[in-house]
A and B are shown apart, each in its own frame.
Chain A
Amino acid sequence: MTRDNGDHGNSPSDEAALSARLKRLGERLGQHTGRPVDKSPGASSTADPSAMARGFRLSTELVAGVLVGAALGWLLDRWLGISPWGLIVFLLLGFAAGVLNVMRAAGVNMGSNASRPPD
Chain B
Amino acid sequence: MGDPIHQFELKSLFSLGHIGPYEIVFTNSALFMLLALLATAALMLIPTRQRALVPSRAQSVAELSYEFVANTIQSTAGKEGMKFFPLVFSLFIFVLTVNLLGLLPYGFTVTSHIVITVALALLVFFTVLVYGFWKNGLGFFRLFVPSGIPIYILPLIVFIEVLSFLSRPISHSVRLFANMLAGHITLKVFAGFIVMLSALGIHGVVGAILPLSLVVALTALEFLVAFLQAYVFAILTCIYLNDAIHPGH
Contact = CB atoms under 8 A, between A and B. Distances in A.
Nearest to B225: A53
Interface in B226-243: 228-229, 231-232, 235-236, 239
B163 interface: yes
B147 A116 contact: yes
B166 interface: yes
Interface string A79-119: 00000000000100110111011001000000111011101
Interface string A40-66: 110110011110010011001101110
A112 B148 contact: yes
A40 B163 contact: no
- Interface of B: prevailing SS: helix
Contacts of B232: 47-48, 53, 57
Interface in A9-46: 33, 36-37, 40-41, 43-44
Interface string B160-174: 110110111011001
A60 B171 contact: yes
A28 B72 CA distance: 21
Interface of B: 67, 71, 74-76, 146-149, 156, 159-161, 163-164, 166-168, 170-171, 174-175, 178-179, 224-225, 228-229, 231-232, 235-236, 239, 248-249
Given A100-B161, A117-B147, 14 more contacts: A33-B67, A43-B75, A50-B224, A53-B225, A53-B229, A60-B178, A68-B166, A69-B163, A97-B163, A101-B171, A111-B148, A116-B146, A116-B147, A116-B148
